[in-house]
Structure formats: C-alpha cells, structure tokens
Structure 1
C-alpha cells in the first residue's frame, strides 16, 4: 500500500502567525491580572526566563526537524533515536495534552458566550464550536492555516493596541483613577519583588502554562510549502515576539496601574481600555478572548489528528488512522479526537469545575514530560552525528543548553508539587505513564 502524503498547504504567513498564536493564549488576556498579583513586577523576569527556555526547546526541535524534512512530526525522531516504546508513550501523552487543552478551551468558549447570552446553556456553544472547528479542519489544511492566521491577527492587534495606548498614556502622563501614568509605577509599589521569592517562584506554573503549545509550529512543519526556509524564521523570531507581546503588554499594564491596584477578577485589558473611555472595551476584549480560546481549540483539534496519524504510522495506533481524505487530511484521526473532546463537553455538563482544573494541571505536567523527551531525543541525535556533516541550524550552546532545559523542567515539576492547587495533579500524572507502559508491554512486548 502506497504511503499517503499530507498536503503541504501551509504558507509562510500561516506558519509565522501560528507560531505567534501558539505563544499567546487566554493566559495573557485573562490570567495576566492574577499572575501580576502573585508576583508583582518580578513576573516580567519569570516570562523572560521561561521564554528563553522555550526558545531553546524550539531550537532543539528545529534542528531535529530540519535534519530530515521527510519526517512529519517530532514523534518520528523519538522512534528513531529513543525507540518505539518511548515514541508510544510520548505520542499518546502529547495527544492527551492537546485533548485536555481542547476541553479547557471549549469550556472557555461556553463561558465567554454567556457574556452576551447569559441564559444560554454553557454546553450549547461548546458543541457548535466543536462541530464548526472539526468541519473546517476536515476540509483542507490551508483552511486551518487561514483560520489560525486570522485568530492570531486579532490577538496581535489587541496587544499592539494595548502597548500603543500605554505608551501614549506614559508620554502624556495621563491621569487615571489611580493617579498619573508613569514608568515608575512598575517598581514604586514595593520594588521588583514585593511578594518575595515565594511569589516569584509560584508564578512560574502559570507562566509555563501560558507557553504550552509553542512547539505546535514543529508539528505544522510537515505541511509547509518550504520547511527549510519557513521553520528557522518562525523559531528565531520567538524571542522578539515574547519580548514584544508578553513583556511589552505587562509593562504597559503595570505602568498604567500600580500592580497592587489591579482587579484579579477581570482582564487588565478591559480595565485599561475602559480607562481611556472606550465603553465597549469589555465587549471588544471578550471578542479577543473568545477568538483566543477558539484558536487554541482549533490548534488542539489539528494536533490531536496529526498525532494519531503519526502514532498509526509508527504502529502504535490502529492502522485506519493513517488514511487520508481526498483533501489530504487525516479524517478518521480528526473525527476520533473530536469524539473524545466531545466526551469532555458531556462531563463538563454533569461534573463540577474542579475536575476541569485537575485535567489542565495534568496537561501542564504532561507537557513537561514531552518537552523533556524532545530535548533528550535532540541529544541522542547530536551524538549520532559526531564526525558527520550537519545542517547549519544548530542548537546554540549544545549540550549545556540541553542540561539547562532539564534543570528548568525539574524546577517547574517541583513548583507543581509545592503548590496546593496543582499538587494532586502532579502526583496523579505518573499513573498515566505507568498505564501506557503496561499497555505497550501487553500489546508489543509480551508475545514477541
């Protein structure tokens, strides 16, 4: 049987915006008030450190992907350098990561829709969004790219507008309800570490969650027209984007409002735009966070489908998942993933929100594992290339940067165990890996 090839239907602009969209989630628009409250101005340092580590992870991934552009995902490299068992465990874990992110974002879509239609049952917009996004993913990969392009553009415009408003207010020393806007507002309320080391360290969990999905650009590489040109560009621009979008917007927010006067219950973006007299600010930001949630859910459906396809190609999932539709997309894999995500909508209808928080915390823990495996695979690849010709897009400061990433991932795992909100998830997650190991043993090892 001839191996079917995914359509290379993603253009450069699609990949560039997908890589931006992967790094800007609802965490920034909604969660930034809470994270600022947790750490004060030191949150800027937490974002810079985490962003730097994520850039190194992406450079490791980029080097792997460009070493063989015929491989369609990093899972192919895991199988090649670490073996089939690791590919099985990593692939299913990554699939589960994105399933839980889709669950989270569908719930968010239900909640945001209630801003306009408070009497609408929460599950209804979730079902509509799931059916709509699945349909668009089934048509063509170029349509997924187009949708993601516009979703990301909405987020970028909102952030650039916030930074521009902040700059204008600083220059004109604009008077707000909290006094004049000035740069010194950032540090003049208790210094850079007003909540001490404890607040600074605890903020890393939320900051790390804001970056999950950044590696999605590595998954879309297999469907770009020119991966050798597009991928290095998208990865090398990540630090600039982190500085502009995260650091820029948080600096603007804290210059306008002293960090300790921000309301944690609503988006700081709403507060800022309301302050300058935009009465529709809450509505505008609600559109932005709705598009951010739809964007993340769209990415989740895309990646769960591609992950099942990769798993099936490796023999770790039913062979029927390798079949592509006439539009060159993995139809059965996409539909199956959407069906699992739909179970979450049903559970969300019957079960309380706590279950949901646990699922997203487990996803964060699983992402730490996936990133760790990815970086370890990169090390194995580099060792195998000793004395051979290598391509120019190399991981900077190898192997020191790899060990630095491992240290950071262990540090985040420690924070997850330390925080009462995430401790249970961090302790429960290893059971998932044990379960996968048992399944692999009975399916592939016992009778061979």
Structure 2
C-alpha cells in the first residue's frame, strides 16, 4: 500500500544539514573538554583519526545503499549480506544506541534551561520531548526544517569561534591566561603531555562526538533524489571534520592553554568568556541547548524509522509498521518517546553516573553498527563484484581500508576495557546483546 511507504520529502538542503548536524554533536560542545584533559593538544590527532575512519565507513554505506533502490538503511543490506540475525541485532542495537544518546540529550536540555529559570530540570526535559514528538508526528518535512535551523546555529557558532580565534592569533591578543598563540599547542608539556596513555584514553569521548554521522544513510528512504544527494553529503564529511572538529579544537587550544580548560564544562563557553563578550555564557548556553535538542530530535527520528523498518521486515511487532496519514510512523515515534521519558527520569535519579555510563554504552553500540556496515561491504565485494564494478560511488581503498578501520575499532574496545572510567559500561553492554540474541532465537523457534 502506498500509505505504508515512507515519503521522500527531504530535499537536498535538508540532507546536507542533517549530515552537518550528524557530524556536530553534543560530544563536541560538551565532551571535548574531557577529551582535551586526557590527551592535551594531541586530541587533534584523535579527531582526525576517528573522522577519517568514519568517512570510509560512510563511503561503504553510500555504495551499498545506492547498489539497490530497495535499501532504506544499513539494516537492509546487513540482512542481505550477513544474515537475518545481523539485520535483527544491528537494527535493534541502533535503536538502543539512539535511545541511550537521546536520554542524555533530553535531560541535558533541562539542565541548560535551569541556567535562566530555577525550575526542576525534568520539566523542561519532558516539555522538549513532547514538542519534538508533536512536530515529528506531523510530517518528515518538519524534521528536516528543525535540523536545518538547529544545524545552522551550530555552524554559525563554530565559524564565529574560528574567525575570532584566527584574529586573536594574528593580533597576539592577550587574555587572563596569557597571549593567544599557536605555541600554546606545545609550550605546556608538549603535544603529548600525558603520553600515549592519555592520547589513547581520549578515543572513547571522541567516538561519542561522532555518533550520528551515519544519519545520512538512515534518511535515505526519505530523500527526494538519493543518487545525487547521498554522495554529495558523504563526500563533504572530510571538509566538515577539518573545519568543525579539527579547526575548532585547534583554535580553542591556541586561545587557551589546555591546562586551563575545565573538563566539567564546555571549552566553547570558557573561550568565548575569555574573548571579552559580556553575554558569552548566555549565548553559548543557548547554543548547547539547541545542540542537545537537535541531537534529541535526531534520536527520535532515527529510532522511529528503525522501528518502522524492522517491523516492516517482520523483525518487530506489526504495530510499529503502520504510518499515519502524513506517512509518519506514529506508533514507533510515540513508543520511542515513552522510553525516552523513562530514561530521562532515570538520568535525573542518577545524575552523577548516568551520563558517563549512557554515553560509553552508546559509543560501544555505535562501533558495533559501524563495524557491521564495513563487514557487510566486504561480503558485498566478494558476492557481488558486478555491482561494485557498475557502482558510480565506489568506496575508496576497499577492501584494505575496511580491515584497517575494523582493527581500529577493536583497539578502541580494548582501550575502553583498560580505562577505569569506561570499563563498567563496557562490561554492562554485552547484556544487551545477550537479550537480543535470546529474543532472536525465540522468534525463530515459532
């Protein structure tokens, strides 16, 4: 039935900005401080390594999505090339990834609102969730518009930071913490002040900073011209990584020595305060609030589309495969929102540990998803060399680069096990996969 198909209502500008929003998450605004504290200036290399690796993941994703007009997400080709179990486990794990990520984002909205209004943080958190749910229920165009404007706010903030920072470097501007200079990168303990240990321990938070980069693939089903828009969005990822991540962190570390940055607050807020802008704290608080709302919005969109596709492919309850009159998976949206509201309340009950545990589990599960994309691409190269030859969007350096990135992901998991901060969440995560494999086994016995 026509009504039970997602509508291709996302235009090129929506897809481009969804791509930008996916590569600028709350991890950059909020988590970069913790990453800088661990690695010092060498965190720039960490962002480069993860960013380049994910570009190759996205190229594999792009080639496979465009190899079959029936593919609506990576769940479809994971099922085709790896097996039904891979589609089932990866599909529900991706839903879980975004539920965990959006939990942190929604509760963060409540924290940011308290900057201006002294009210319990769960109130604005739930209000935000209800508003996002209402807008997403209407039409996919509204999701595109929301992300369009959220992303513009992020872009303007980061570009303003970079421009102001460059002017300060050129003019030798002096702050309370000394002169603004490129030499701040190596004059405070060197480029690797905490050695290789600090450098390696920064990888977890940087991985979390990039979660959502694959949203371009999730939105493929609702893109008006995927053969044109998907390659365009993916090919611009390296430029965005260099500008928004490496550029921003580079400027921050030149303006303020890494030793002066506080891991518990946003480096962006601290740097804008040093610039001498009186309302800097309020401006950046608004930016990180919209960033958190944007991430929550992306999470709600992504989880609902996952539930719809899983159920449509008989890997979930039929209830979630139904669309409303606006071609939106309303049942899946409402269910995801209910789970998110429970998560927000749990995050409020455990404010000191919930965020760290949730973000680490999210990063681990995203590594699973990205790895499945690379593995499916390897199998595709072996089974369908004809499609690869005909592809107008071939993944570069494949299959060699697939193995390199998979080894990197395995190394990051080992690092998470070694680090005291991330080990508890790493040990908890297998519980999710045990439950999924159990459910999958039970379904197959019916």
Task: State the partner residue of 1:112.
Answer: 112
Task: State the partner residue of 2:180.
Answer: 181
**Distance in 2 separating the partners of 1:240 and 1:294:** 25
Do the aligned partners of residues 261 and 356 (structure 1) sit closer, same or farther apart at CA in structure 2, a change above 3 Å counting? closer
Task: State the partner residue of 2:308.
Answer: 309
- The reply on whether 1:206 has 2:168 as its aligned counterpart is no
**Distance in 2 separating the partners of 1:183 and 1:274:** 19
Count of aligned residue pairs for this structure pair: 445
* Normalised TM-score (structure 1): 0.96
Q: Is the 8 A contact 2:107 2:348 kept in 1?
A: no
Do the aligned partners of residues 387 and 124 (structure 1) sit closer, same or farther apart at CA in structure 2, a change above 3 Å counting? closer
- Secondary structure of the structure 1 residue equivalent to 2:291: helix
Task: State the partner residue of 2:242.
Answer: 243
Deviation at 1:4, TM superposition (A): 2.0
RMSD: 1.4
Deviation at 1:361, TM superposition (A): 1.6
* Normalised TM-score (structure 2): 0.97
**Distance in 1 separating the partners of 2:358 and 2:190:** 36
Deviation at 1:110, TM superposition (A): 1.0
Deviation at 1:434, TM superposition (A): 1.4
Task: State the partner residue of 1:373.
Answer: 372
Deviation at 1:349, TM superposition (A): 4.1
The runs of 5 or more residues in structure 2 that have no matched partner are: none
Q: Is the 8 A contact 1:69 1:227 kept in 2?
A: no
- The reply on whether 1:327 has 2:322 as its aligned counterpart is no
The runs of 5 or more residues in structure 1 that have no matched partner are: none
**Distance in 1 separating the partners of 2:186 and 2:261:** 14
**Distance in 2 separating the partners of 1:352 and 1:255:** 33
Alignment of 1:258-407 (within 5 A): 258-387=257-386, 389-407=389-407
Deviation at 1:266, TM superposition (A): 2.6
Task: State the partner residue of 2:421.
Answer: 421
Q: Is the 8 A contact 1:109 1:293 kept in 2?
A: yes
Do the aligned partners of residues 143 and 2 (structure 1) sit closer, same or farther apart at CA in structure 2, a change above 3 Å counting? closer
Q: Is the 8 A contact 2:308 2:332 kept in 1?
A: yes
- Secondary structure of the structure 2 residue equivalent to 1:421: coil
Listed one character per residue, the Cα deviations across residues 199-257 of structure 1 (whole Å, up to 9, x for unaligned) are 10101111111011111111001111100000111101101100011111111111111
Deviation at 1:321, TM superposition (A): 1.3
Q: Is the 8 A contact 1:69 1:222 kept in 2?
A: no
Task: State the partner residue of 1:152.
Answer: 151
Q: Is the 8 A contact 1:162 1:249 kept in 2?
A: yes
**Distance in 1 separating the partners of 2:420 and 2:264:** 21
Task: State the partner residue of 1:219.
Answer: 218
Q: Is the 8 A contact 2:101 2:299 kept in 1?
A: yes
Task: State the partner residue of 1:60.
Answer: 60
Listed one character per residue, the Cα deviations across residues 162-200 of structure 1 (whole Å, up to 9, x for unaligned) are 000101111111111122212112122222111111110
Deviation at 1:439, TM superposition (A): 1.0
**Distance in 2 separating the partners of 1:440 and 1:229:** 36
Do the aligned partners of residues 332 and 168 (structure 1) sit closer, same or farther apart at CA in structure 2, a change above 3 Å counting? same
**Distance in 2 separating the partners of 1:58 and 1:159:** 23
Q: Is the 8 A contact 2:180 2:256 kept in 1?
A: yes
- The reply on whether 1:171 has 2:170 as its aligned counterpart is yes
Alignment of 1:64-75 (within 5 A): 64-75=64-75
Q: Is the 8 A contact 1:79 1:86 kept in 2?
A: yes
Deviation at 1:354, TM superposition (A): 1.9
**Distance in 1 separating the partners of 2:263 and 2:47:** 19
**Distance in 2 separating the partners of 1:268 and 1:323:** 44
**Distance in 2 separating the partners of 1:245 and 1:418:** 30
- Secondary structure of the structure 1 residue equivalent to 2:390: coil
Do the aligned partners of residues 413 and 259 (structure 1) sit closer, same or farther apart at CA in structure 2, a change above 3 Å counting? same
- The reply on whether 1:36 has 2:36 as its aligned counterpart is yes
Task: State the partner residue of 2:97.
Answer: 97
Do the aligned partners of residues 383 and 86 (structure 1) sit closer, same or farther apart at CA in structure 2, a change above 3 Å counting? same
Task: State the partner residue of 2:227.
Answer: 228
- Secondary structure of the structure 1 residue equivalent to 2:249: helix
Q: Is the 8 A contact 1:29 1:289 kept in 2?
A: yes
**Distance in 1 separating the partners of 2:2 and 2:232:** 33
Task: State the partner residue of 1:22.
Answer: 22
Do the aligned partners of residues 2 and 184 (structure 1) sit closer, same or farther apart at CA in structure 2, a change above 3 Å counting? closer
**Distance in 1 separating the partners of 2:296 and 2:232:** 25
